Amino acid sequence: MSEVTTTDGSRALRRLAQRVETVATGGFKITYLPMKLTVEAGPPDLDAHHEGQPGSLLDIALKNDIEIDHSCGGFTACSTCHVIVREGLESCNETTEDEDDMLDEAPGLTLNSRLACQCVPDGSVDIVVEIPAWNRNLAKESSH
């Protein structure tokens, strides 16, 4: 394990302990805003492939009956599944050049913007994702 250096050592240690616990239990939570709908995700979600990258925010949302517009079917050919990762972005894979190109077309772009079809969390921390207003009319609550 590498050493963590920070001005607030106790906060960094708590965060590291949380990551270890989450990975050990094999699960994490994703909260989709503005619905405040939280779903549990984990290793089984990597096997359930709907659209986009396996284990992506879009894939997990669709598995849990949360609709996010995704006109291209999750192939990085549009920006309709644009979401804003409010918490946990550090646990997600890096953007690709194709994703960056599509994000340039997305309205309301922020530093935490991602395409839900390409953003794959590693499960080390819980995630909070905002579905922007232009996509909210398609979002529905799950029975979970």
Q: What mean pLDDT comes out for the span 80-86?
A: 97
CATH (domain of 74): 3.10.20.30
Give the mean pLDDT of the chain. 80
Does 114 fall in a domain?
yes
Does 32 fall in a domain?
yes
pLDDT band at residue 143 under the 50/70/90 scheme: very low
Reported as a single tens digit per residue, the pLDDT across 27-38 is 899 999 999 999
Does 6 fall in a domain?
no
Domain that holds residue 98: 27-136
Does 82 fall in a domain?
yes
pTM of the model: 0.74
Does 4 fall in a domain?
no
| 57: nearest Cα among 111, 98, 139, 117 | 117
Does 71 fall in a domain?
yes
Domain count, the chain: 1
Reported as a single tens digit per residue, the pLDDT across 103-141 is 999 999 999 999 999 999 999 999 999 999 876 554 444
